Amino acid sequence: MTATPTILGSGLDEVTRSEASLRQFLHGLPGVDQVGAEARAAGLGTRSIKTTAKAYALDLAIRMVDLTTLEGADTPGKVRALASKAMRPDPADPDCPSVAAVCVYPDMVATVRETLGGSGVHIAAVATAFPSGRAALDIKLADTADAVEAGADEIDMVIDRGAFLSGRYQQVYDEIVAVKAACARADGPSAHLKVIFETGELQTYDNVRRVSWLAMMAGADFIKTSTGKVQPAATLPVTMIMLEAVRDFREQTGRMIGVKPAGGIRTSKDAIKYLVMVNEVAGPDWLDPDWFRFGASTLLNDLLMQRTKMTTGRYSGPDYFTLD
């Protein structure tokens, strides 16, 4: 359905050296056939998987969850409980895997770090004036640096959608580069950077493809659909376009970038549709928590319910697991 994107010609530096060259590259990417994209995504969403594969998929989806709470009413007690659940989602089953990360506001990072200890569950913090992205750059960089200093090993930044939609691509590119630099840690590895597009505000699939390439060229480690605060959030067609972008970017540059759909993914059935799409569009290399995540708060409980049904033959009610 999609032609190979324009090769990065004489190199990344040449493409990103000016507003004009960046615009030329981004608008030279193949346009997205909206009808074709939606039809293909719908078709992939009808695939079914067998029992043993479903059991594997449920455990994989659990391992891919960024368990998230991003509310003004978040308290240290709520965040500690969420972090405990991240480590042991089903206390009655020691074989149940832990999730990938706990995602919180920067002021809660220290609380999460104390709770998680050396569990291996990552700490993700939203930054850069989440969810609007409307703040001065120095404030965004301070927000990022504070989260990293507190112990975040993943930063979820939001782009300035107003700048992108106005065609100020160089501004968006430069901000991502600067935030990436702010993810550096003097005494250890840099925090990974996830760049949130808020695809529900980007208006067209062509814009989703363009912003995916823009973020990857600027140094994103992950590209992420949404904040979860705007509807529509993650959708199968949008995620498919982003998966095509990371696949093609690796073919062009050798660099592998992760993808994170977030917002509105609530059921195991939905999660499995996304896993099928990952395998079919990007390939099996992305079927790993290092390269694909679900940003979710309610999805985990449904995954646990389905997992219990497969192991015991009985459904547990939604109140059997802790409510988030």
- Catalytically annotated residues: 156, 224, 260
Token output for 113: 């770090």
Query: How many Å apart are CA 45 and CA 127, to the nearest integer?
Result: 32
